[in-house]
Amino acid sequence: MNILHMTSEIHPLIKTGGLADVSRSLPVALQSLGENIRLFVPGYRNLLAALNDTHEVMDSFPYGVLPAKARLLAADLPGSSIPLWILDCPALFDRGGGPYQDDEGQDWPDNPLRFGAFCRAAAWLVQNQHPSILDWSIDLLHCHDWQTALTPALLKFWHCPVPTVLTIHNLAFQGNFSASWINTLGLPAQEFHLESLEFHGQLSFLKAGLVHADAITTVSPRYAREIQTPQMGCGLDGLLRHRSAALSGILNGIDELWCPDNDPHLTHHYNITKKAPKALNKAHLQQRLGLEVSPQAFLVGLVSRLTLQKGIDLVLDSLDDMLADKSVQLVVLGSGDLDMERRLAHWNSRKPDQVHIALGFNEVLSHQIIAGADLFLMPSRFEPCGLAQMYAMTYGTPPLVHHTGGLADTVTPYQPEISPRRQQGTGFVFETAHSYELKSCFKIAKSCFHNPVEWNKVVHNAMKKSFRWDRAAQEYQILYNKLLKLT
Ligand code: ADP
């Protein structure tokens, strides 16, 4: 079947988080199962600059479809044979900064127009599948997150029978904007009500998709249950309960690029049967970051967006305690909340022998931290799936996580009372998002580290876990088949 995925991020062209990884890996895995996949993405300046070879599919969209002059371009996604369709609309996407924010970290004020146009273009392509226009017909549209979520609504308004799937990668990002955008985006005013586009007096992209998509998925089974509760439903739990028959959770996998045995960013390769070179990656990381090169040091790594969601405040509140032990070293790579960045940087200057804080986005360093650290910190308050903890386990770096969402679905808790022989743990898990729980969990992890038999068993269990994309892709395939038979 022919499936069009639409997404606002795609690795390796444009990435702010896990969405970019999934947007690449899932289509690649579906393609290996024999599905015919294309991707539709906005033509950001950086994305177009990173592509060598694009060609024009349509020199314009018909009058009235989009708010500005736009073309449809095509290229291959680098490193794959997935065809990309690109919405080249310079007025909306040819600018510096990131996909959603300017260089100062402020949301682009015309985001509703930018992603509204992206959704209108996608809906138009799905609805106008005439061979004289496109060489490819679309059997099903798979949308990812709020930036794409207006599309299922538009298709319903336009009475288009092509089925749609909307995947929620993070319910906290909803794309809620002033109701005045309804007119500007050419949306039917009569749809601005509680059961369609309206959410607390605003236009909500995500809600529109949740109401109108034929199927809704989230990226882990536990998160699919959590978002139906008032505590974690971000105000949309009632709607999600109402749509529970259409809602399911499919755990993400991780891309084969994340493999310690052939990762080009590592100085030394290793695998589950040859673990020794992991220690050389640790030494390399310590040396690169100016920390004492010591196998005995307990090297703790964190690679994350620096936000409340990721529990970075819990880490900050625990650092006094954690770093009181001089044998603990901490390496952080991330960017985000300016106050958190400042507080982390403060630790860098307070304990330069023990702490290295790298602010910014650095793909190479992220791989080296995940491979070189002993323990990977990921105490997210909520976590739709989380990829980094799965990378960490694959790289033999047990994660320390909060028991929530995809973290709970992927990390088997270490149980200190169980003998190493029977130990199933792949990481360290605390129940409630409080720094005192994080601190006591950290102490358990540290004492496990100092008992090599126990530690090696946890590392081994972690590396044995499989997070293959083909399993997830098969689950999506079943869902697609169901939808196509239903319509
Ligand atoms: P989220 O998508 O919520 O940010 P995930 O764990 O699902 O969290 O995915 C985060 C991805 O982004 C991982 O691939 C992680 O390694 C990467 N990442 C996060 N911050 C950085 C950074 N500062 N530099 C490099 N990679 C990062």
3-state secondary structure 329-391: EEEEEEEECHHHHHHHHHHHHHCCCCEEEEECCCHHHHHHHHHHCCEEEECCCCCCCCCHHHH
d(CA 249, CA 251): 6
Q: Is the pLDDT of residue 321 over 90?
A: yes
- Contact at 8 Å (CB) between 17 and 9? yes
Nearest C-alpha neighbor of 220 from the set 258, 170, 163, 175 = 170
Q: pLDDT tens-digit profile of 281-314? A: 999 999 999 999 999 999 999 999 999 999 999 9
pLDDT for the residue numbered 486: 58
Give domain 2-253+469-486's CATH architecture: 3-Layer(aba) Sandwich (3.40)
pLDDT for the residue numbered 381: 96
- Contact at 8 Å (CB) between 382 and 224? no
Q: Which of 26, 252, 304 to mutate to test the pocket of ligand 1 (most atoms within 8 A of CB)?
A: 304
Q: Is the pLDDT of residue 35 over 70?
A: yes
Pocket flag, ligand 1, residue 359 (CB < 6 Å): no
Q: pLDDT tens-digit profile of 365-383? A: 999 999 999 999 999 999 9
Pocket flag, ligand 1, residue 217 (CB < 6 Å): no
- Rounded to the nearest 10 degrees, the angle between the axes of helix 150-157 and helix 111-127 is 50
The token pair at 143 is 């949308």
Pocket flag, ligand 1, residue 333 (CB < 6 Å): yes
What is the Cβ-side half-sphere exposure of residue 378, based on CA atoms within 13 angstroms?
Answer: 32
The token pair at 27 is 């289509």
Pocket flag, ligand 1, residue 305 (CB < 6 Å): yes
- Contact at 8 Å (CB) between 7 and 148? yes
Per-residue pLDDT, averaged over 356-371, amounts to 96
Per-residue pLDDT, averaged over 140-146, amounts to 98
Pocket flag, ligand 1, residue 219 (CB < 6 Å): no
Q: How far is the CA of 335 from the centre of ligand 1 (A)?
A: 10
- Contact at 8 Å (CB) between 418 and 388? no
Which residues make up the CATH 3.40.50.2000 domain(s) of the chain?
2-253+469-486, 277-464
CA-to-CA dists, residue 136 to 104, 108, 139, 275, 387, angstroms: 40, 33, 10, 47, 32
CA-to-CA dists, residue 435 to 7, 319, 440, angstroms: 35, 10, 9
Pocket flag, ligand 1, residue 387 (CB < 6 Å): yes
Q: How far is the CA of 408 from the centre of ligand 1 (A)?
A: 18
> Nearest C-alpha to atom 15 of ligand 1 is from which residue?
388
Pocket flag, ligand 1, residue 339 (CB < 6 Å): no
Helix (H, G, I), strand (E, B) or coil at 304: strand
Q: Is the pLDDT of residue 482 over 60?
A: yes
> Nearest C-alpha to atom 12 of ligand 1 is from which residue?
17
Q: pLDDT tens-digit profile of 207-229? A: 999 999 999 999 999 999 999 99
pLDDT for the residue numbered 208: 98
Pocket flag, ligand 1, residue 22 (CB < 6 Å): no
- Contact at 8 Å (CB) between 70 and 89? yes
Pocket flag, ligand 1, residue 265 (CB < 6 Å): no
Q: How far is the CA of 157 from the centre of ligand 1 (A)?
A: 36
Question: What CATH number labels 277-464?
Answer: 3.40.50.2000
